[in-house]
Amino acid sequence: MDGTQPTAPSPAHTSVILDAIADGVFTVDAEWRITSFNRAAEELTGVTREDALGQRCSEVFRGSACEAACPIRRAVAGDGPVIGLPVYVIGRGGQKVPVSVSAAVLRDDEGRVTGGVETFRDLSQVEELRKRLESGYRLEDLVSRNRQMQQLFELLPTIAASDSTVLIQGDSGTGKELVARAVHNLGPRRRGPFVALNCGALPDTLLESELFGYRRGAFTDARTDKPGRFAVAEGGTLLLDEIGDVSTAMQIRLLRVLQERRYEPLGATEPVAADVRVIVATNRDLQDLVQKGEFRRDLYYRINVIQLNLPLLKDRKEDIPLLVEHFIGRYNRLQGKDVAGVSEGALEILMTHDYPGNIRELENMIERAFILCSSGLIGAEHLPEALTAEVQDGPDGGRRQGGTLKDLERQAIVAALERHDGSRKEAAAELGIHKSTFFRKLKAYHIRVPAGRGQD
């Protein structure tokens, strides 16, 4: 070294350095006006450097993190540098471009804020690859990477092609109606109507008129003919939900319709043909009800031609990130918002809950979060207080079991290995992980493969 002091790069050199960076980079002054704008930023936004300089950054980017959720504002507010925030900016042609944003504050020699710097990385290719990967986890409006649900996805097109009665069993909120709609949409009746009726919500007299309709004069207030759900669903599909709550007398009428494919509206003198595919659903164990004499055995065998059983959400927690993203996309479209996703802390909280209300409960949480969060990321503060309280430190100072995403991932791997008698290949397939990645995680988490088929 010759002892000379290093000199700061000139503005011309700074411009060359910034243009050599593959990520978009720009800086703003204390008035939020752009003072530098590199080549990658030009290519991503379609805005030239000359047009960008001197403009407010929100006028150039018009992205989901502008204004209140601006990363530079967050850094200036004292939150520290922002790293890897997923948002979008408006690119060439007005399309939304997903990017990963990092930001930091610029200060003078005396520590005063003079502006900020922000970098953004184009995630379009990453997003496209992610969508291709996840396409195997979607069927109609169903989203899952769970092994049991994946097996159901494989069966549904074949089931839909037939006209047989389908029995869907699962707790409330597990998606029984979505499965029924998928069967309808994938089958030859998809151009016909899909009609759903909750049988458990109606007494027999109302249920009978809802199902079969009535003719004028059938009773005092019957001034006109009214078509029943079987007539409305003609040529399509009829879902009879909560079939386990139907009375024995109504079970007899349903059995006759399913056997003869004909029914009689109230007050009618001639039966009517029913060209309808029937799907039934219940949250009760029908076989147990048959044993107790509360459900007719002959009707049970008539509707149990094809049986589909839906797992609880707590038994398919690997689906929670997929479902959260699915619901965020839906509510963004419905409400015209630009919520980018959930923070790691919020996802950690969502992963620890057992969801007695199943998928419906998770969707309600995301809908609630949308009321409180208009853009950026859904954080822990946007989730119900009762939920966040579940993962607070307990009286022993220890966090609830499975409190971090790594803990949850390790628990999921161990549980999958136990379910498959130590078979690493089958456990990896259930979790949707490539076997080489699965082996790396075994090593990283120091997981010992249980005795059994662990050397497959």
Give the confidence band of 58 by pLDDT, cuts at 50, 70, 90. confident
Position 220, amino acid: T
The CATH code of the domain that includes 155 is 3.40.50.300
Shared domain check, 180 and 31: no
> In terms of domains, do 307 and 320 share one?
no
Residues 143 and 267 in one domain: yes
> Which of 7-16, 110-119, 258-267, 303-312 has the least mean pLDDT?
7-16
pLDDT band, very low/low/confident/very high, at 403 (cuts 50, 70, 90): very low
What are the helix (H) ranges across 53-190?
A: 57-61, 71-74, 124-134, 147-161, 176-186
Q: Domain end: 257, 277, 311, which one? A: 311
Residues 208 and 292 in one domain: yes
CATH assignment of the domain containing 88: 3.30.450.20
Phi and psi angles of residue 107, each rounded to the nearest 5 degrees, phi first: -130, 155
Instruction: Tell me what pLDDT residue 9 has.
Output: 56
Chosen domain end from 65, 89, 122: 122
Report the domain count for the chain. Answer: 4
User: Do 56 and 76 fall into the same domain?
Assistant: yes
With a cut of 90, say whether residue 240 has pLDDT above it.
yes
- What's the average model confidence in pLDDT over 178-196? 95
Q: Which residues, in sequence order, are CB contacts of 4 under 8 Å at separation 6+?
A: none
Please determine, for residue 370, whether its predicted confidence score (pLDDT) is greater than 50. Answer: yes
Cα–Cα–Cα angle for 218, 219, 225, nearest 5°? 50
The whole-number average pLDDT for the span 54-63 is 77
Q: Once rounded to an integer, what is the mean pLDDT over residues 203-217?
A: 84
Residue-wise pLDDT for 248-297, tens only, equals 999 999 999 999 999 888 877 788 899 999 999 999 999 999 999 999 99
Domain assignment present for 449: no
Mean pLDDT of 417-433: 79
Write the pLDDT tens digit of every residue in 152-166: 999 999 999 999 999
Q: 360 with 324, same domain?
A: yes
396 found inside a domain? no
pTM for the predicted model, two decimal places: 0.66
Contact yes or no for 272/264 (Cβ under 8 A):
yes
pLDDT (average), residues 55-68: 70
* Residue 37 placed within a domain: yes
Residue 213: its H or E element: strand 213-214
- Residue 46's pLDDT is 82
Domain of residue 213 covers 134-311
Does residue 145 register a pLDDT over 80? yes
Q: Does an H or E element contain 262, and which? A: strand 262-263
Strands 277-282 and 237-241: parallel
Q: Is residue 451 part of a domain?
A: no
Q: What is the mean pLDDT of residues 225-252?
A: 93
CB distance 37 to 26 below 8 Å: yes
In a domain, 398, yes or no: no
> Do residues 422 and 349 share a domain?
no
pLDDT at 384 over 80: yes
289 or 104: which leads in pLDDT: 289
Residues 382 and 428 in one domain: no
**Could you tell me if 290 and 228 lie in one domain?**
yes
Helix (H) or strand (E) holding 165: none
The per-residue pLDDT for 316 is: 92
What is the per-residue pLDDT for 247? Answer: 92
Percentage of residues of the chain with pLDDT beyond 70: 84
CATH of the domain at 319: 1.10.8.60
Residue 395 inside a domain? The answer is no
Within-domain flag for 399 = no
Tell me the per-residue pLDDT of 24-49, one tens digit each, with 9 for 90 and over.
888 888 888 888 888 888 888 888 88
Q: 65-74, 174-183, 235-244, 317-326 — which is least confidently predicted? A: 65-74
pLDDT at residue 217 tops 80: no
335 versus 435: which is more confidently predicted?
Answer: 335
Residue of higher predicted confidence among 16 and 206: 206
Q: Tell me, what's the pLDDT at 175?
A: 94
Q: Is the pLDDT of residue 400 over 70?
A: no
- Name the band, by pLDDT with cuts 50, 70 and 90, for residue 406: low
Amino acid at 377: L
Q: What is the mean pLDDT of residues 134-145?
A: 77
d(CA 385, CA 196): 35
Co-location of 95 and 110 in the same domain: yes
* Residue 397 confidence class, pLDDT cut points 50, 70, 90: very low
Residue 127: inside a domain, yes or no?
no
If you average pLDDT over every residue of the chain, what do you get? 82
Write down which residue in 346, 361, 390 finishes a domain: 390
CATH code: domain of residue 432:
1.10.10.60
Residues 431 and 340 in one domain: no
In the predicted structure, residue 124 carries a pLDDT above the cut 80 = no
State the amino acid at position 40 in one-letter form: A
Q: How far apart are CA 161 and CA 277, in angstroms?
A: 11
- Please say if the pLDDT value at position 236 is more than 60: yes
368 and 290 within one domain: no
b/e per residue 260-269 (b: at least 16 CB within 10 A) = eeebbbbeee
pLDDT at 262: 92
